[in-house]
Amino acid sequence: MDIHTPGGILVRTAAPSDWSAIAGIDTIAAAGDQGRRAAVRRWCEEGLVLVAEDPSGPLGYGVLEHTFFEQGFVTMLMVADGARRRGVGSLLLRAAGAACTAPKLFTSTNVSNLPMQRLLGRERWRAVGLLHGLDDGDPELFFLCPPERVGAGGS
């Protein structure tokens, strides 16, 4: 899947060889977290990563899996610090919707992650549940993608 935008951003499925560059824009992996680096590598090797890039390199990435009750789930969405507020997160969410092969697409974020909640609100994702116990003192808020943006209607 390749999506070209008028602004010169390309969204495509990452190749296994892209993992190191993608890990370089992930704030946790770039800070040296070996578990996150390994996860980015595995996600790229499994073909689960959608990467947004321009000629300067990766701007952000999203991980789309279909293991959440056999529905789509955006496991990770990360935009490079220097690329925020440029629509990269929206592009990645829309690309995930277009690439989703299940009837529904979900994601989640911590209650403390207000920028992600604002992004999901702008993209019309609906809050559908709250889970306590994953991160102590910071519950996980789950969201559902608008149905018209899933699958063929996702673009």
Domain locations in the chain as residue ranges: 2-153
Instruction: For residue 29, give the H/E element and its range.
Output: helix 27-30
Q: What is the pLDDT of residue 88?
A: 96
- Residue 152 confidence (pLDDT): 62
Q: Which residue has the tokens 């019309």?
A: 124
CATH 3.40.630.30 fits 2-153, yes or no: yes
Model pTM score: 0.92
| pLDDT digit string (tens) for the chain, length 155 residues | 667 666 789 999 999 999 999 999 999 999 999 999 999 999 999 999 999 999 999 999 999 999 999 999 999 999 999 899 889 999 999 999 999 999 999 999 999 999 999 999 999 999 999 999 999 999 999 999 999 999 864 44
Kindly state the greatest CA–CA separation across the chain: 42
71 forms bridges with which residues in the sheet? 68
Helix residue ranges per DSSP H, the chain? 19-25, 27-30, 34-45, 88-99, 114-122
User: What pLDDT does residue 4 have?
Assistant: 64
Q: Which pLDDT belongs to residue 30? A: 94
